[in-house]
Structure formats: C-alpha cells, structure tokens
Amino acid sequence: SLKGVDLLAEIQRLKRERNAVILAHYYQKPEIQDLADFVGDSLDLSRKAAATDAEVIAFCGVRFMAETAKILSPEKTVILPDMEAGCSLEDSCPPDQFAAFRKAHPDHIALTYINCSAAVKALSDIIVTSSSAQTILDQIPLDQKIIFGPDRHLGGYLARKTGRDMLLWPGICIVHQAFSETELLKLKAEHPGAPVAAHPECPPHIVEHADLVGSTRAILEFALSSPADTILVATEPHIIHQMEKAAPNKRFIGVPGGDGNCNCNMCPYMALNTLEKLYVALRDLQPRIELSPEVMKAARVPLERMLEMAG
C-alpha cells in the first residue's frame, strides 16, 4: 500500500536516482503538471524527448506520445504511468485498414497526425502535430495528392484554410467532438467580447466561432497575450491550470461538452495517469514502452521529417 508515502518527495528522490526527466502534456492533472520538468504540446514534447540526456523519460501523457518519445530516443527507457492511456484517434485507425487505404490510393502520400499508433506512423510519409501541420503542408508541392489521417476535423480545417483537397480518414477525438455549440453561444452571450480559442480537433461548428485555432501551446499563448480579461477555451480544460498560474487576474472559462452537465470535455485517457502511478512507474521502471525494432525504424523516418520540416 502507498499509505503514508510522501509521493512528491519520493517521486523527486526516484527521479534523481534513476536520472529521469518528467515530461507532461497540458491535459494532465495540475499536480502532475506542477512536478514535471517540462509541460508542453505534442511537438514540444517530441523535441524534448529527442534532445534529453536523461536515461529515463517518465512520460505523463497518452501512449502515442510516449511511443513517439521512445522512437526518437530508442536508447532511453520510456515509462508511462498507465499503459491504458490511449486515444480515440489512435483507436479509429487500425494499421491494417490504414495499409489497405494507402494501397487503394498509391499516388497519394500519407500526411499523418501524430495522434496514432507507432504502426500507423511506420506506414506514413510525414507526421504532423496541430502546431506544425500547416507549416509542413505548405512545403508539399500543390500537385502532390495527399491522404490525411486520422483526424478528419484537423484535416478538414487544413483543407478549408489552404484550399487543398485531401483524402480524409474519418477519425475524431471524442473529447473535442463533444463541445457544445449551444453552450459556447450561451457563454459568448454571457461574456460579450470574450475571445474564443479552439483546438483544430473541434468540429467546424465550434471552430467557426473561434478567434484562434491552434495547438495547446498556441491556445495557451493566445490566452495569456490577449488583452481581454475573459477568455473562452475550447480544448481539454486541464490546460486552464497553466493559464491561471500565469495570469491569476484573468478569467478562463472552459467550454462545456454535451448538455453542459457532463465531464465529457475531459480526456478520459489523460486522466488515467496519477501521482501514485507515476511513483510506481519510477520505482519499478514499468509500465515501459516496448516496440519492435522494425516498427521503430520505420516510424522514425516520418517523425524526423516532421522535426525537420516544422523548423
């Protein structure tokens, strides 16, 4: 039993003992964000994982993020507090079906959102994150045909924004899909002039009301730099922790999902990670990301293209 264990002190002790770095996504619980060495969006977390000289990466995020860290730093031990921390976008795109889709469209390249399995990355040409997708897309010749997966809302947003026609895989994020347009319009009426920041995983009926559409880091930067004193946030609400820490006098309001009375705007996968599980993972160096050498080698190519092209 972990009763009586001073988790924060023990995590710090084990971190030193193991020569570990703790990386956390903005959707993690506040107590995890607060003890992490670095908190970031998917692209920044990938860069940190590729550059760290720690021996162990304790990844507080979801599995595809920890797998990315392992692929970019194969000699490191990468632990994830809960191996069940998946992602609905990953689930929407089984590698065998993705391989068949590619085969059916041999003249298309696969531009693939990082929210997917290592096996799907291994079948892709270039990986993108929400913060790098447009920069990368702009470097691909206009006559090049493109498959974009697995997030159809990010793909659709990019297609509308750039005027490019891409073949979209029909995946969605269950969290961003749930944001309610009715609740958002109610909030806008209650807070006249409050700007809206939305993640591109949101469906078009949310994105069309947004003043900023961007990655978690872009949303955070917008919220902090906006002169407005109230900001409406259409992404997973744990990011509001960073906003409140940096700007305690501003008001950040998370847009509700569903009928406004559910917790469905929170990511159930991200929520699986806890301080207790992080402590156990550092103690036992388990659960650990293990991938076949073939998949790692193949998945590394499109991930390195991403890091290069993202600038």
Instruction: Please report how close the Cβ of residue 62 comes to ligand SF4 at its closest, in angstroms.
Output: 5
113-142: contacts with ligand SF4 (CB under 6 A): 115
d(CA 69, CA 288): 12
d(CA 111, CA 205): 24
**Taking the C-alpha atoms of 247, 200, 50 and 81 in order, what is their torsion angle to the nearest 10 degrees?**
80
d(CA 127, CA 16): 33
d(CA 154, CA 157): 5
Residue at 207: amino acid letter: V
Residue 287: asked if its preceding bond is cis (omega within 30°), the reply is yes
Residues that bind ligand SF4 (rule: CB under 6 A) add up to a total of 13
d(CA 163, CA 156): 10
Residue from the set 68, 73, 117, 215 that interacts with ligand 13P by CB under 6 A: 215
- Among residues 52 and 115, whose Cβ is nearest to ligand 13P? 115
Report the candidate in 89, 75, 177 with the shortest Cα–Cα distance to residue 127.
89
- Among residues 14 and 158, whose Cβ is nearest to ligand 13P? 158
The entry of ligand 13P, ligand SF4, none near residue 77 (CB within 5 to 8 angstroms by kind) is: none
Residue 147: strand pairing partners? 110, 167
- Interacting span for ligand 13P (CB under 6 A) from 120-128, 129-137, 162-170, 241-249: 129-137
201 in contact with ligand 13P (CB under 6 A): yes
The entry of ligand 13P, ligand SF4, none near residue 269 (CB within 5 to 8 angstroms by kind) is: ligand SF4
Residue from the set 58, 69, 137, 175 that interacts with ligand SF4 by CB under 6 A: 175
302 belongs to an annotated ligand binding site:
no
Angle at 18 between CA 278 and CA 5, to 5 degrees: 45
Residue 170: strand pairing partners? none
- Among residues 231 and 234, whose Cβ is nearest to ligand SF4? 234
Residue at 156: amino acid letter: G
| x-marked contacts with ligand SF4 along 227-266 as a string, rule CB under 6 A | ---------x------------------------------
The entry of ligand SF4, ligand 13P, none near residue 174 (CB within 5 to 8 angstroms by kind) is: ligand SF4
Residues at the interface with ligand SF4 (CB under 6 A): 62, 87-89, 115, 173-175, 201, 236, 267, 269-270
Residues at the interface with ligand 13P (CB under 6 A): 41-42, 115, 129-131, 173, 199, 201, 215-216
